[in-house]
Structure 1
Amino acid sequence: MMHKLTEYQRSFAEENHNLVKDFLYYNQLNMAEYYDVVAMGYLEAVQAYDENSRARQYEFQTIASRKMCDCLFKYWRYNSRLKRRVCLISLDGTIYEDSSFTLAETIEAKNATCEDLVFQRMMIEEVMVHMTEKEKTVVQMRAAGFTGREIGTACGVTASGVYGRLYRMRKRLKRLLSVQESEAYAYT
């Protein structure tokens, strides 16, 4: 865990700073884009090398290179997750500004009859009525791939609170759907 550098660690980091530039150059990385990412790994290496006697059995360059690679990998993994590129849209919103069709109306299910699609749409709309705006947001974010912690941060609740809400919503929706299905069978 990173903490404030000691005076010795600061001077050691300044003496070996060329390793950061060499790492960026060797890996053909843009200095402006990746310097901060790689520098954090470098500073972690400085602290590990100073505070961990086992790390000193290796050359500092080896420790620094490994830590910079780790930070770079974490950065790439974090930014390449699908949810980072997803934008949330409503099923009730139109696809294009000049279109009168909603997204839900344009989604086609394989081998589904028009009657089934209408029934599914009606059930979704009826179930959505029983959700609060915050619950709708939680469901949309979860469907987009966000974790409980990320949803909690966005909505101002804890991760366990998010999972609890999802659990209670699922139970409530299952009850509603079972009632709706039993009513649908009663009419046939």
Structure 2
Amino acid sequence: MHKLTDAQRNFAEENHNMIQDFLFYNHLDRADYYDVVALGYLEAVQDYDEDSRTRQYKFETIASRKMCDCLFKHWRYNGRLKRKAYLVSLDGTVYEDSGLTLSETIVAKSVKCEDLVFQRLMIEEAMVHMTEKEKKVVQMKAAGFTGPEIGTACGVTTSGVYGRLYRMRKRLNRVFSAQESEVYAYT
């Protein structure tokens, strides 16, 4: 979307009531969804003015579709688990009357302290063989971000993100297989 022309701005002002009608018809709170729906409405204004194929339909149809699309994108974006995460402190009580902290109630099944230390050492060893860009990609991927989101944050394409992950995996496999063969050579 780009800046509206004067004609587009006038057209948008003349038909502005469509946003209110859309919110009312779909039982959406104005305070929560006005901005989301208005963005779709403005996209519809631009498309209707600039693309002659859209003029074969009523503007109301184009606007309604664009507003629905923006609403869907908004719900999908905000519905991801990483954005709805509920943070819990390990030091906070599980139940108000129990007096137990969350860390006291979690039982690590079949996880030995040595295993945790070994995993930590493997992660640190892997991080040594990664570039700074790869570290950032891996950290964001581990945090639950998608490829396109990581690409936007790192300033690369989505395929560039997946390419970095692929090359990093190949390099780490070579490094760890070489280290494994060295261990067997010494035994």
TM-score higher than 0.5: yes
After superposition, what is the alpha-carbon deviation per residue over 1:110-157, rounded to whole angstroms, capped at 9, x for unaligned? 8777766665444334333434555333212123332444334434x5
CA 1:127/1:114 → structure 2, altered by over 3 Å: closer, same or farther? Answer: same
| C-alpha separation in 2, matches of 1:7 and 1:77 | 33
More moved, 31-40 vs 130-139: 130-139
Equivalent residue for 1:139? Answer: 138
Equivalent residue for 1:158? Answer: 156
Equivalent residue for 1:19? Answer: 18
CA 1:54/1:149 → structure 2, altered by over 3 Å: closer, same or farther? Answer: closer
| C-alpha separation in 2, matches of 1:122 and 1:48 | 55
| C-alpha separation in 2, matches of 1:35 and 1:139 | 36
Equivalent residue for 2:125? Answer: 126
Aligned-CA RMSD value: 3.6
After superposition, what is the alpha-carbon deviation per residue over 1:159-182, rounded to whole angstroms, capped at 9, x for unaligned? 365444433321221122213333
Check whether the contact 1:86–1:144 (CA below 8 A) recurs between aligned residues. no
After superposition, what is the alpha-carbon deviation per residue over 1:22-73, rounded to whole angstroms, capped at 9, x for unaligned? 1111112121221111111112222333333443333222221111111111
CA 1:79/1:178 → structure 2, altered by over 3 Å: closer, same or farther? Answer: same
Q: Which amino acid aligns with 1:127?
A: A
Check whether the contact 1:13–1:46 (CA below 8 A) recurs between aligned residues. yes
Q: Which amino acid aligns with 2:145?
A: F
Q: Which amino acid aligns with 1:15?
A: E
CA 1:183/1:118 → structure 2, altered by over 3 Å: closer, same or farther? Answer: farther
CA 1:158/1:28 → structure 2, altered by over 3 Å: closer, same or farther? Answer: same
Q: Which amino acid aligns with 2:70?
A: C
Gaps of 5+ in 1: 88-94, 99-105
| C-alpha separation in 1, matches of 2:185 and 2:81 | 43
* SS of aligned partner of 1:33: helix
Q: Which amino acid aligns with 1:174?
A: N
* SS of aligned partner of 2:28: coil
Equivalent residue for 2:51? Answer: 52
Equivalent residue for 1:30? Answer: 29
| C-alpha separation in 2, matches of 1:41 and 1:174 | 46
- TM-score w.r.t. structure 2 length? 0.69
Equivalent residue for 2:63? Answer: 64
CA 1:151/1:86 → structure 2, altered by over 3 Å: closer, same or farther? Answer: farther
CA 1:24/1:137 → structure 2, altered by over 3 Å: closer, same or farther? Answer: same
| C-alpha separation in 2, matches of 1:5 and 1:11 | 9
Which 4+ runs in 1 deviate beyond 6 A? 110-115
Task: Give the length in aligned residue pairs.
Answer: 172
Q: Which amino acid aligns with 1:182?
A: S
Fraction of identical pairs, as percent: 74
Q: Which amino acid aligns with 2:153?
A: A
Check whether the contact 1:49–1:63 (CA below 8 A) recurs between aligned residues. yes
Gaps of 5+ in 2: 93-105
Pairing 1:172–2:171 present:
yes
- TM-score w.r.t. structure 1 length? 0.68
| C-alpha separation in 1, matches of 2:90 and 2:72 | 37
| C-alpha separation in 1, matches of 2:183 and 2:91 | 36
